[in-house]
């Protein structure tokens, strides 16, 4: 069952800049699972568990681009420590601070496209706000298997001018 979102579900927050370690996934979304597994293994080896180091996804393409090769997402973990790649393609980056429209999604957060579309297609035009030049991203506050899938929580952030 898909949740219906309303303007009451969206809050505007000032968020601080967040230094992150980034593992990029570029290419067919069918191979994203393998990238996620490499990311999980890397962050365990780096001592950056989800309980103490926030988890982010930054979407740099549509969920289903015309060509699967154009799919692009960054898997990120918040850290201000020096990045040790340990053989993986990891780079340092930052999620910029500033005003963001925030939409919390509870339960089954594997497909956040409906929430993202609500922010872009419904909330943004009606709000009088303008999107900033940084893609929509999410922070995964709790996720499977640490909690049951129906209790997973993610917050989507739409950067605003």
Distances (CA, A) of 111 to 101, 114, 129, 157: 19, 7, 25, 15
Give first-to-last CA distance, the chain, whole Å: 33
Q: Are residues 108 and 156 in the same domain?
A: yes
Arithmetic mean of pLDDT, 72-77: 97
For the chain, the average pLDDT equals: 92
- H/E run at residue 55: strand 55-59
pLDDT over 90 (residue 52): yes
Query: Rounded CA gap, 63 and 75, in Å?
Result: 15
Cα angle: 73, vertex 137, 90; to 5 degrees: 45
Nearest to 43 by CA among 92, 90, 99: 90
pLDDT in tens, 92-140: 999 999 999 999 999 888 889 999 999 999 999 999 999 999 999 999 9
117 and 138 share one domain: yes
pLDDT band at 61 (very low <50, low <70, confident <90, very high): confident
Range of the domain at 114: 1-15+98-161
pTM value is 0.92
58 plus 107 within the same structural domain: no
- Domain final position from 95, 110, 133: 95
Q: Are residues 81 and 146 in the same domain?
A: no
- Is the same domain home to 8 and 48? no
Residues 71 and 109 in one domain: no
What pLDDT, on the 0 to 100 scale, is given for residue 84? Answer: 79
CA distance 147 to 150: 8
116 and 56 in a common domain: no
């Amino acid at each position: 069952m898909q949740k219906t979102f309303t303007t009451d579900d969206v809050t505007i927050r000032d968020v601080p800049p967040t230094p992150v370690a980034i593992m990029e996934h570029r290419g067919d979304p069918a191979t994203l699972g393998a990238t996620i597994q490499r990311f999980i293994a890397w962050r365990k080896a780096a001592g950056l568990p989800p309980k103490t180091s926030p988890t982010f996804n930054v979407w740099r393409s549509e969920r289903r681009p015309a060509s699967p090769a154009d799919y692009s997402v960054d898997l990120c973990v918040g850290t201000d420590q020096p990045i040790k790649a340990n053989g993986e393609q990891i780079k340092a980056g930052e999620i910029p601070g500033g005003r963001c429209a925030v939409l919390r999604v509870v339960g089954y957060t594997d497909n956040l496209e409906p929430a993202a579309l609500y922010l872009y297609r419904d909330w943004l035009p009606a709000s009088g706000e303008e999107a900033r030049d940084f893609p929509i991203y999410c922070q995964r506050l709790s996720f499977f298997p640490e909690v049951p899938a129906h209790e997973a929580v993610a917050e989507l952030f739409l950067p605003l001018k």
